[in-house]
Structure 1
Amino acid sequence: MLLQIYKDLRASQLQQAMSKADALVQAYPNFRVGHMIRGDLLLMHTKPVTQLGAGLNAPPDKLKDLRDEARVRLQSLVARPNPDLLPRSVLQLRSDMRHVLVVAAAQSRLYVYQNVNGQLRLVTDYYITQGKLGVDKFREGDQKTPLGVYYITGRVSGARLPDFYGASALRINYPNEWDRLNGRGGSGIFLHGTPSDNYSRPPLASDGCVVLTNEDLRRLEDSVDIGKTPVVIADQQEFISKAKWDAERNTAARLVDAWRADLVSADSQRLLKNYSAKFKSADGENLKTWFEKDLRPLASVNGLTVAISEMTIFRYPSRDDMLVSTFTLESKIGKTRSTQRKRQYWAREGSAWKIVFESLI
């Protein structure tokens, strides 16, 4: 409704805009930005208005919050990605993942993509609030939103929540294994709603969570499967053509398949070439210690066959030189079979890609 008002103003249709502003504040009486815009429209009947909130006599910090929210909502008129373009951060999903949530913090926007037979389709997008001090969370209480690839791991209903969290809260698995490896801490990061006295919050207003309006959060929950819905949080999201997206996805998939071929070669040196000298395990072990303990027993066996399935691939947010792949590894030696779920972080070192972290999940 707010965007329709903006469109009328662009077309110099003041009366139509005024009528829609009246309807907006009647439908959403606690939407403070709506009241601010309506006040500006009333003022336009008497004099030129050169800035948002011109008719308000409000504390400067509160007025700035309202102006910031109005601006980022306005930006969505021109900043919404072309539906023919795809998020570069999401290269492959498992077949049982119905949706992926893609957060562009700098635009205060969350995009919902549907997984349609391995292809991504933009479904909708929502205004969101991020941490008071922006992104790149490092420690508890720093009031920043984390950057990374996460999953929705649980839901807390509104009846069990303080009013501050709104209708419900969807927990994400921050800190993930890469966060912990790099010394990042903190807890209690959610996608949650807004307090009952306010329809929405300013762009920079949370303690680190991603905040939606209660109305939007209820809609979003229809797209969420606990444990299966990825949330990719970046400062800036890049959207690319399908041709480029296919090429990058194929390149990443070939890395994992080449690793699989080296695993079954029974040649430890060949397999080791996939790994970075900077490799660290979850326990802080270097490559030599971890490899001897965890991988050599499997890699040195003749007659090993390995199949990879149910793979996801993400380009790690804010790290153009990193990929994270998760897959099911089914190995067979004679009549003995085993299945593992494995995650690998690949970093580009010069012209080559190397594994810098690997773990079972």
Structure 2
Amino acid sequence: MRVAFFVLTLVLSATTAVAGGWAPLLSSHSYGPKRIIAVDKEAQELIVLEQQSPLHEVRRFPCTTGQSMGDKAVEGDMRTPVGVYFVGHRINRTLDWDLYGNIAYSLNYPNPIDRIKGKTGSGIWLHGRGKTFLPRDTLGCVALKVPDMKDVALDAAYGTPVVIADDVNWSPEPGESEVTALTLAKTLEAWARDWGAKDEKFFSYYDGPLLEQSEGLDFEGFEENKRNIFASQPWIQVMVGNVRAVPGPGYWVTWFDQYYRTQGMASTTGKRFYWVQDEQGDWRIAGREYVPASEPLDAQYLAAKTGEAREVVEKWRRAWLAGDVAAYEKFYEPDAEQGDRRGATRIAEYKKTLWEEKPPVTLEVDDLKVALHPKGLKVAFDQVYADASGYGDRGRKTLILVPEGDTWKIDSEQWRRMR
């Protein structure tokens, strides 16, 4: 095993082949996780690695894996699977001390790629072992001595990636992984954007036949259901955050938090996507897993949309101040409300008549606040106005903005005079 220390975030960057097995090279790229539990089957070692500027080996322990050599294929073959897995829930039941010690965590074997490959079996754990400790002595699990498992449990938070390989190495260089991880992150952003746009391109990110194999999904039914949702919702917005990525043997895994919002409804969930390359070299989603989000994204979403709302209000203000009726009208929904006026056309006609007689000379916006609203966003601000006749007023303006494409339109506008 070759060890190196580096400054950047840890991730699996490349793989090399060893005789009959998988040998990933752990290295650095922008979307790597902060912690990885690596299992080296050949060396019978478990290594906890963290990014602590530089990469820091937190702990290293002897471990024992399956009695049979090679990658797990079928139930009962006594092999430990090779690939990228994730720590699941702690096993909360009485454990056989000799076999499992007193701490055990499930791993998500078989993962979607395993199911595509037709692998069978289940119940692969990361656990302790109370009896005499021997190499290659489990039925397929990864086991450690009881005191060592107690230490590893400190780092085995739900969702921690566990890389199980025949041989594990690492390097300070990001190599090709930086390019691949960035490609996947950008593809994920495009997937979210096209979902929000209700664009048919959304379906092209998936490998339908492989998705059917990995989760028993009727892909045509999936498409039909999504199109029905597209048709029933006036708008959809999707944001992804906390994106992480690692490669496995012949695939990559990304995991992220997803914020999904439609009119009157919002939710945050965690997802894992398993990506494979098609014949053209493009990455396609072959499998999915739903997990709890690592954190709520409401605040991040609102911060992003606050910036968009400020930009819309500023452009709207400039159109008003310039007396540009055509540009001003474009900021309103066709059936928008402005006081007792209904419809963008009527609003524009009113402003046209008013501005021809009394052109605006001052329009100031201050103390702008943005909040979520069932229809989209509620934007409130102090407005100071004056026209060429000498008239002026000051009030609190409230706009309800609704999404339209990649911008926002005014659905309603109310004003209250301030004393």
Task: Tell me the TM-score range normalised by the shorter chain.
Answer: 0.5 to 0.7
Which residue is equivalent to 1:291? 223
CA distance 1:187–1:283, shift in 2 (3 Å): closer
Which residue is equivalent to 1:88? 12
Structure 2 residues without counterparts, runs of 5 or longer: 14-25, 292-419
Match of 2:164 among 233, 254, 259: 233
Match of 2:38 among 102, 116, 119: 102
Q: For 1:245-324, what aligned pairs fall within 5 Å after superposition?
A: 245-268=177-200, 270-281=201-212, 283-293=215-225, 295-299=226-230, 303-316=235-248, 318-319=249-250, 322-324=251-253
Cα separation, 2, equivalents of 1:218 and 1:292 = 48
Q: Root-mean-square deviation (CA), in Å?
A: 3.1
Per-residue deviation, residues 283-339 of structure 1 (Å, max 9, x unmatched): 52353332222x3344565632211123332212x22xx112222221223443233
Which residue is equivalent to 2:287? 357
Cα separation, 2, equivalents of 1:283 and 1:151 = 18
Whichever residue aligns with residue 344 of structure 1, its letter is: F
2:183 is paired with a residue of what secondary structure? helix
CA distance 1:87–1:107, shift in 2 (3 Å): farther
Cα separation, 1, equivalents of 2:115 and 2:63 = 26
Task: Report if aligned partners of 2:274, 2:286 keep a CA contact under 8 Å in 1.
Answer: yes
Q: How far 1:101 moved relative to its partner?
A: 0.6
2:150 is paired with a residue of what secondary structure? helix
Per-residue deviation, residues 43-78 of structure 1 (Å, max 9, x unmatched): xxxxxxxxxxxxxxxxxxxxxxxxxxxxxxxxxxxx
Task: Report if aligned partners of 2:196, 2:237 keep a CA contact under 8 Å in 1.
Answer: yes
Q: Does 1:210 align with 2:142?
A: yes
Per-residue deviation, residues 209-268 of structure 1 (Å, max 9, x unmatched): 11223332222122222x232222122335343443544432221121121222223221
2:58 is paired with a residue of what secondary structure? strand
Whichever residue aligns with residue 288 of structure 2, its letter is: E
1:130 is paired with a residue of what secondary structure? coil
Which residue is equivalent to 1:151? 86
Which residue is equivalent to 1:127? 62
Task: Decide which moves more: 119-128 or 306-315.
Answer: 119-128
1:337 is paired with a residue of what secondary structure? strand
Structure 1 residues without counterparts, runs of 5 or longer: 1-78
Q: How far 1:145 moved relative to its partner?
A: 0.4
Per-residue deviation, residues 116-158 of structure 1 (Å, max 9, x unmatched): 59x8543232222211112321222110001233233344589
Q: How far 1:114 moved relative to its partner?
A: 2.2
1:206 is paired with a residue of what secondary structure? coil
Task: Report if aligned partners of 1:100, 1:115 keep a CA contact under 8 Å in 2.
Answer: no
Whichever residue aligns with residue 127 of structure 1, its letter is: P
Counting strand residues as a fraction of each chain, which structure ranks higher? Answer: 2
Cα separation, 1, equivalents of 2:229 and 2:163 = 33
CA distance 1:184–1:306, shift in 2 (3 Å): same
Q: How far 1:190 moved relative to its partner?
A: 2.0
Give the TM-score normalised by the residue count of structure 2: 0.56
Whichever residue aligns with residue 134 of structure 2, its letter is: R
Task: Report if aligned partners of 1:102, 1:111 keep a CA contact under 8 Å in 2.
Answer: yes
Q: For 1:332-351, what aligned pairs fall within 5 Å after superposition?
A: 332-349=261-278, 350-351=280-281
Cα separation, 1, equivalents of 2:106 and 2:219 = 33
Counting helix residues as a fraction of each chain, which structure ranks higher? Answer: 1
1:231 is paired with a residue of what secondary structure? strand
CA distance 1:249–1:240, shift in 2 (3 Å): farther
Cα separation, 1, equivalents of 2:103 and 2:92 = 5
Match of 1:176 among 91, 111, 115: 111
2:210 is paired with a residue of what secondary structure? coil
Per-residue deviation, residues 145-176 of structure 1 (Å, max 9, x unmatched): 01233233344589742323345333323233
Cα separation, 2, equivalents of 1:120 and 1:286 = 43
1:179 is paired with a residue of what secondary structure? helix
Task: Report if aligned partners of 1:87, 1:238 keep a CA contact under 8 Å in 2.
Answer: no
Identity rate of aligned residues, in percent?
Answer: 27
The structure number with the bigger radius of gyration is: 2
Q: How far 1:201 moved relative to its partner?
A: 1.0
Which residue is equivalent to 2:134? 201
Q: How far 1:103 moved relative to its partner?
A: 1.4
Number of residue pairs the alignment of both structures matches: 270
Which residue is equivalent to 1:24? none
CA distance 1:249–1:121, shift in 2 (3 Å): farther
Cα separation, 1, equivalents of 2:98 and 2:289 = 39
Cα separation, 2, equivalents of 1:330 and 1:304 = 11
Give the TM-score normalised by the residue count of structure 1: 0.64
Q: For 1:31-42, what aligned pairs fall within 5 Å after superposition?
A: none
